[in-house]
Amino acid sequence: MEESATLTAEQRQLLQAVYDWFQRHGTWPTFGQIDRPLRKAGLDPVAVIKSTAHSLLPPFQAGRSAPQPNDVIHLTIQGIAACDGGGEDVDRFVRLLPWLAQRELDFEPGAGPGEDNLQVASGEFKEFLGLPEDPGTSLSRLYEILNLERWGWNGSAINPETGEWHVGVSREVGRFAGVRTLADYVSILTQRAEEERAPYPITHAAPTWNDLAGLTNGEPATGDTYVAASVIQFLEDKAAQSTWNCDKLLQLIRELNDNHASKNTYATHALLRAILDHVPPILRCTSFNEVTSSYKWGRTDKGYIKSLLAFRLQGDDALHRPISEHADVLRFEDVPPGTWLNRLLHECAQRL
């Protein structure tokens, strides 16, 4: 909230450009879609993005110092609140939280598959909020906001043919049962962030996934490989007991580690892209899009997997962009952090 009060004119102009696109189209813009108009208006969008607080405009992708044209630019609910016209979207989001908390508390799990968690459909959101019969942008914006904020969602899915969607709701939403204002919501987020930073007592500490995967602070341990050695060992152990044939997957991983260690940009991109296309069946999915939209990830892991989905464009670039008179834009620094892939492969090993 304090960050929005100290915004510069340039920062406000950039946030407004992002929100104006979002309001018109119901989806977030890519950097390429706002870059040129802002430069024509005399701004340096890259510099303004770097100077804007992440509580308003979250990082577009880890591991890169500047956005690429296909990077999607999002605003947090606080960022939306800082924009002219954003109050309506903020009000709808805040009104939903106590309603969703009560829905989750009253939910009775069923006995069938997929009936153990509350799922709320887009039509129910529309009816509760009394959304207008516009071309769908109000409901689309709500879907995007729900998927970005940390209110207690537990996965989501959208039907590309009908545009209908649903959102899973976890017990975490109960934290927000008493929310009445945006300030209430932000206060709870701040409190939760402080709790997450607090160390566990050593005598009661449970092993984290980073412990299991041989990672430290989200990155491979010193001397480890891009795909952590412990993750590879876990895959090999599980594959030996599985009906899935993981020979190709393990060979792709070995080649990826070799090329990553040698800083071979194109081979690393191509092999990582191949792995993303290879593993969905292990997670009972038909494509990596489905891995992102339908598989039940936790919030942090969902962010990792979404980022890997966005990376597939770079993989396509490495594999399919033809020769031209222009310099290539891919760099080794554009390769995603190993944590994202390690988490995906660890989950695959658990499902073998």
**Residue 295's pLDDT is what?**
87
φ/ψ (deg, to 5) at 84: -65, 130
- Using a 10 angstrom Cβ sphere, with 0-12 exposed, 13-18 middle and 19 or more buried, the burial of residue 270 is middle
**Residue 162's pLDDT is what?**
84
Average confidence (pLDDT) over 72-97:
96
* β-strand pairing of 215-216 with 165-169: unpaired
Instruction: Report the first-to-last Cα separation within the chain, whole angstroms.
Output: 45
Q: Which helix (H) or strand (E) holds 277?
A: helix 265-278
Report the range of poorest mean pLDDT among 131-145, 153-167, 268-282, 336-350: 153-167
Label residue 65 by pLDDT band (50, 70, 90).
Answer: low
Report the range of poorest mean pLDDT among 33-42, 106-115, 194-203, 264-273: 194-203
**Residue 6's pLDDT is what?**
86
User: 72 pairs with which residues across the strands?
Assistant: 30
Tell me how many domains the chain contains. Answer: 3
Amino acid found at 80:
I
* Token pair belonging to 268: 């690393």
**Residue 222's pLDDT is what?**
43
Q: Say if residue 75 is in the same domain as residue 119.
A: no
Report the range of poorest mean pLDDT among 52-56, 130-134, 146-150, 221-225: 221-225
**Residue 62's pLDDT is what?**
44
Q: Which helix (H) or strand (E) holds 339?
A: helix 338-351
Q: Say if residue 340 is in the same domain as residue 262.
A: yes
Residue 204 inside a domain? The answer is: no
Q: Which helix (H) or strand (E) holds 147?
A: helix 137-148
pLDDT higher than 90, residue 336: no
Question: Residue 301's closest CA among 334, 344, 336, 272?
Answer: 344
Average pLDDT over the chain reads: 84
Average confidence (pLDDT) over 114-125:
84
Average confidence (pLDDT) over 71-93:
95
CATH number for 188: 1.10.10
Range of the domain at 144: 87-197
Q: Which helix (H) or strand (E) holds 194?
A: helix 182-197
Q: Say if residue 101 is in the same domain as residue 178.
A: yes
Q: Say if residue 214 is in the same domain as residue 326.
A: yes
For 145-202, the pLDDT digits (tens) are: 998 888 888 777 888 788 889 988 988 899 999 999 999 999 998 887 777 565 444 4
What is the rounded (10 degree) CA torsion for 260, 266, 272, 276? Answer: 180
**Residue 344's pLDDT is what?**
94
Cα(17)–Cα(284) distance, integer angstroms: 40
Domain end marker among 141, 167, 197: 197
**Residue 163's pLDDT is what?**
83
Label residue 115 by pLDDT band (50, 70, 90).
Answer: low
**Residue 298's pLDDT is what?**
81
**Residue 208's pLDDT is what?**
42
Cα(273)–Cα(308) distance, integer angstroms: 9
Contact 266, 318 (CB under 8 A): yes
For 286-296, the pLDDT digits (tens) are: 889 889 888 88
Cα(11)–Cα(253) distance, integer angstroms: 42
**Residue 124's pLDDT is what?**
96
Q: Say if residue 216 is in the same domain as residue 343.
A: yes
The overall pTM is greater than 0.85:
no
pLDDT higher than 70, residue 64: no
Q: Which helix (H) or strand (E) holds 215?
A: strand 215-216
**Residue 132's pLDDT is what?**
81
Q: Say if residue 75 is in the same domain as residue 95.
A: no
Q: Say if residue 287 is in the same domain as residue 325.
A: yes
**Residue 66's pLDDT is what?**
74
Q: Say if residue 161 is in the same domain as residue 284.
A: no
Any alpha helices (H) in 26-117, and if so which ranges?
31-40, 45-51, 77-81, 87-106
**Residue 16's pLDDT is what?**
97
